[in-house]
Chain A
């Protein structure tokens, strides 16, 4: 199918569809290419879990000054957990260990909006700079139940609001592929820590692209699951109807092993559900929505989609062009709905009940206002104000109400598309990683970064960000595979097919 995209021999694009993504050039080689390989080394007692975890902590300590992937390490806890893993390994046959704890002793890290009992959880905000949760997020518990050892908390845009990880109160995450570039956001630390080789696995959260876009910018895999697949209990809420935790990894097989262990109904999250995957199609068909191609401002992204199309066709998978006109509604609907929910979710942070408390102000109202002004960064304040406005009496129908209708239309459009094709191939981002500071003062430019990713978020659909090569300057570019609800395993299989086609 050649009508779909621009010629794939664009001089700005160098195709590369790895099944295991390498760390960024110049970063020290990791102990193993991916988590599955490392877990296997640990099971063979080739090295101990404690050594692996100490190695990760040392790498972070030595090199993270360049990237700011981490907001905090929990070294003592991690070493303790690693020793536990070593004890457990010595009591298990390798085969048993592989089944019960597929990542036993493998260092991992989680985005700093996922609660870990007794470990500071800041959401990248001054507001929560001293918050230590008394409980652990379900998703983090599940990661640990697979044997992984959490070594620390990862940097992010403040309260997950942003597409560049520049709004963190402790400073921006730098892209290991080019440190003058952003790592993407809001899960910038989660993606960059993999690209830098600090850990092979991480958890992020995705509200409008916050896993997929940084994964694309950093050249790693990132999965935004079906809404409800992974528990949100213990994920500090930004926009509850859109937020979804998800895994990032350097290999497809890591995600294939990791994801089933993270999903499932959680009695503490009423929106979580047991997975119900659709039947796997015998002869899958792909679609390329023209609106997503048109949204890509950099030719390398369009070329990457063309290359993906060529590979799919070479693998015998037909690719159809199609149109999703409601795509133009995605970004406005997303910003209205997400901001509305955020304005409510963040109202508890006022320095009275939670969060940074200002010394300024005489009355309660003044004190709250001062605390919120000091505690929140500009972008968070902008979204709280926007969200409060769109929910206000007299404006609610015009904004929030219409955005809800748009969301329904977007959902319906995806439903129809999946009547024709089994998955969609789009660019993961409009352009590769931009320069730090380039868009931070231009909210509209920043918001339009989300054009490729907010659609599946609004529709609650799973989407996988797949490394697809580089620009001429060596910046990673990524494509996105979108499927119907609960098609994660199928999307991972399709990505594997892409990687297996000879270049």
Chain B
């Protein structure tokens, strides 16, 4: 990012991901977000004297899976370590993490969708650690209190190499990491709930001398957009300082997304001395190659590949492919609908327009959709066959969210609601006759050559049909009835409906 100052941006991300284990990483407490303070804590979480940590095997498996998703090498032996420092939200006085011998090393990811073409960036390491508690400042008017619920939530810290050169790349890296980890189910990766967090390291490289500048760390960057903005803002800030002949100070800054700027948090003249040493309460972590390979086989297709497949093999527009390739619940719904016979484009259209609209309006998450793609395929089949109009399909969809019966048999639901299109012939003619009979004045106007009256009559007929009729077929029926003889007496015709039903298969 050379802006004519002779400096280019050097940026690296440290990404923390909360792993979606059932229990915490070092004890048996549930790993859950949003519970009442201190209801998810035990002697281990609280660091009670004598309590001991025990490493959760599920957390290790998820960490390995995540490492594999980031193309890391999984080390057959890794070591948990103590990072000693004081902070009131950390009851033991140290954090259990990994230091010299992390679990995952030497990964990389490909950043696509960038104006300058795809770029590969390195992941130095990814290691397993425990989260700290949370300070609640004056939440109860009693000064600062500590909530231990988050203590011991399993975290994977992903340390990216300083390979990023633009704010867009930083954002893209976050997105790709999110895409991949979300796809393998190791985390729900919600930045707004803090299950995915980033610390951003920014420095400027003097292009003339090849000298790296002082690195500044920015914390509290809580959205993808904030990552991009924080990097850009910090680069500008450092350029301004250097441009004015100043010196960038080594420090940690706090991002204020509302104001779009960072502010100093603490100066770092020297490295903090965390006095790391191997955690004596936990034996070295050993993972055999068979176990790693078994997990590698569990790696899913990632959104980037999936998007390509949706576009190139299933014929979706790239925009739709992008929209449906993640989160996993959406991709699953789409693919199972296609597998059950829906046309990919119709399924994509319906998901994009109707399902997403409903989710947004109801404030639901894609994972909350209570039915599968088969239900969707059945619904779309009815639409495709002309038995259900889009407006009717929307109504049935709404019912499908509320009623598993409706979800199991969308067409039956349409029928119960009277939404099935009375296809062609008698049914529609009957309706047209009824409308004509109800509005003699309009019929008069139409015969007098006032075409506007037809629009009115069609509108009335559509209303009568409550969305259960194909507008084109209904217009034709209306023309037929109005131009035919004796239409004035319409509506009195008997129920000679439904063709078919004759000719039993013998």
Which A residues are within 8 Å of any B CB, using their own CB? Answer: 113-115, 121, 123, 128, 131, 133-135, 137, 232-237, 239-241, 267-271, 340-341, 343-344, 347-350, 352-354, 368, 388, 391-393, 396, 400
Contact = CB atoms under 8 A, between A and B. Distances in A.
In the complex, the 3 A-B pairs of residues with the closest C-beta atoms, listed nearest first: A347-B93, A241-B280, A391-B275
B313 interface: no
Contacts, number: 98
B408 to A, nearest CB: 44
Given A270-B53, A347-B93, A134 B48 contact: yes
B271 interface: yes
B138 interface: no
5 contacts: A343-B84, A347-B93, A348-B93, A350-B86, A393-B273
A155 B282 CA distance: 29
Contacts of B93: 344, 347-348, 350, 353
Nearest to A113: B50
Given A234-B50, A347-B84, 5 more contacts: A133-B43, A134-B43, A350-B93, A393-B271, A400-B277
Contacts of A270: 52-55, 281-283
A133 B50 CA distance: 9
A141 to B, nearest CB: 13
Contacts of A135: 43, 48, 50-51
A268 B275 CA distance: 26
Q: Which of B84, B91, B93, B283 has the most CB of A within 10 A?
A: B93
A342 to B, nearest CB: 11
Contacts of B94: 344, 347
Contacts of B92: 347-348
B245 interface: no
B47 interface: yes
Contacts of B51: 135, 233-234
Q: Which of B50, B94, B283 has the most CB of A within 10 A?
A: B50
B49 A236 contact: yes
Contacts of B47: 348, 353-354
Interface in B163-211: none
B91 A269 contact: no
Contacts of B273: 392-393
Contacts of A131: 49
A350 B93 CA distance: 9
A233 B50 contact: yes
A344 B84 contact: yes
Given A133-B49, A344-B84, A392-B275, A240 B54 contact: no
Contacts of A133: 43, 48-50
Nearest to B26: A270
B253 interface: no
Contacts of A400: 277
A392 B273 CA distance: 7
Interface in B242-291: 271, 273, 275-277, 280-283
A171 B275 CA distance: 34
A446 to B, nearest CB: 24
Contacts of B55: 270
Interface in B28-87: 43, 47-55, 82, 84, 86
A233 B54 CA distance: 10
B88 interface: yes
A282 B281 CA distance: 36
A137 B49 CA distance: 11
Q: Which of A113, A123, A393 has the most CB of B within 10 A?
A: A393
Contacts of A236: 49-50
Contacts of A354: 47, 49
A396 B50 contact: no
Contact of A137 (B50, B82, B276, B283): B50
Contacts of A392: 273, 275
A235 B50 contact: yes
A335 B259 CA distance: 53
Contacts of B91: 348, 353
A477 to B, nearest CB: 33
Contacts of B43: 133-135
A387 to B, nearest CB: 9
B26 to A, nearest CB: 9
B84 A115 contact: no
